[in-house]
């Protein structure tokens, strides 16, 4: 059976198509300023008559425009992460607009979660703003964070105040690599605080969302949390993947 899932996020839109629990198509496009048009083009790739579910920041738009049923991002990422890693117990979802820690029970159901959605701290947007301030692409920003040394600390988590700190550090002559390292460390500290509130130490932890593409973030998370951090090439698609799983009719 073929099913599909679409995750319409703040910065990108993801689509996955499953056939017998195997991914047969993956698509990721920028959300742009016309997300419904981008989503419509992706939905055109889904075979006619195939069940589709949606999640993400703009899921209500899809439901209203295309009458597509929706599920929460929490549930979608839980389902997607467990398909990618059946032993998954804790999920760190680093998205463009928010960041979530999701704890699963022994059956893979959502037991508890922590969510940071009131400011950009610890999100993809925070990293994007800081990369731009330092003149890096997101890829080069991650590589700079890996190469940098722990010579400075970013104390502010608010994006505006942290950006001011970055400007001050640049003016004082600190290297972009060391500042990048400090910015990644500040994000990891925030994630670690949420992670520990759920008492997730030593659990099988999977990173999903766009943050799963940031190797500096993944390395520092493993060091600070003292646990293995698991991810795959499909981690960014976990939300869409969970939707496609949810679209499979119950037997």
| Residue 186 lies in domain | 87-231
Residue 3 in 3-state DSSP?
A: strand
Same-domain status, 150 and 216: yes
What pLDDT is attached to residue 185? 94
What pLDDT is attached to residue 181? 96
Same-domain status, 135 and 177: yes
CATH no. for residue 60?
3.30.420.40
DSSP-assigned states of every residue in 98-129: -EEEEEE-TTS-EEEEEEE-SSSTTSHHHHHH
Same-domain status, 109 and 204: yes
Same-domain status, 61 and 102: no
pTM of the full structure = 0.92
Same-domain status, 71 and 93: no
Same-domain status, 23 and 109: no
Parts of the chain with a pLDDT under 70: 117-121, 200-202
The neighbouring-strand residues paired with 17 are 4, 25
What pLDDT is attached to residue 198? 85
Same-domain status, 121 and 72: no
- Give the contacts of 153 (CB within 8 A, at least 6 positions apart): 182, 185, 186
- Give the contacts of 21 (CB within 8 A, at least 6 positions apart): 83, 245
CB 247 within 8 A of CB 80: no
What pLDDT is attached to residue 118? 62
CA separation, residue 73 to residues 135, 172, 176, 240, 243 (Å): 32, 42, 34, 9, 9
Q: What is the pLDDT of residues 224-239, one digit of tens each?
A: 988 889 999 999 999 9
Same-domain status, 81 and 111: no
Same-domain status, 78 and 2: yes
Q: What is the pLDDT of residues 140-181, one digit of tens each?
A: 999 999 999 999 999 877 888 888 999 999 999 999 999 999
Rg of the Cα atoms in the chain: 18
């Amino acid at each position: 059976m073929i099913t599909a899932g679409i995750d319409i996020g703040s910065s990108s839109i993801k689509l996955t198509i499953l056939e017998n629990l195997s991914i047969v198509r993956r698509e990721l496009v920028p959300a742009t300023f016309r997300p419904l048009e981008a989503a419509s083009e992706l939905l055109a790739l889904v075979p006619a008559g195939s069940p589709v579910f949606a999640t993400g920041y703009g899921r209500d738009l899809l439901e209203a425009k295309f009458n597509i049923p929706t599920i929460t991002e929490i549930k979608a990422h839980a389902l997607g992460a467990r398909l990618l890693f059946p032993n998954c117990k804790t999920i760190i979802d680093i998205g463009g607009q928010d960041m979530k820690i999701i704890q699963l029970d022994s059956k893979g159901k959502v037991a508890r979660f922590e969510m940071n959605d009131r400011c950009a701290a610890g999100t993809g947007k925070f990293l994007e703003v800081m990369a731009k301030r330092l003149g890096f692409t997101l890829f080069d920003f991650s590589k700079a964070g890996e190469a940098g040394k722990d010579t400075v600390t970013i104390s502010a988590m608010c994006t505006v105040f942290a950006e001011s700190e970055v400007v001050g550090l640049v003016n004082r002559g600190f290297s972009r690599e060391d500042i990048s390292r400090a910015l990644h460390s500040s994000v990891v500290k925030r994630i670690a605080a949420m992670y520990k509130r759920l008492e997730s130490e030593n659990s099988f932890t999977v990173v999903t969302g766009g943050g799963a593409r940031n190797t500096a973030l993944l390395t520092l998370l493993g060091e600070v949390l003292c646990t293995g951090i698991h991810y795959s090439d499909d981690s960014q698609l976990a939300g869409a993947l969970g939707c496609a799983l949810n679209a499979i009719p119950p037997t």
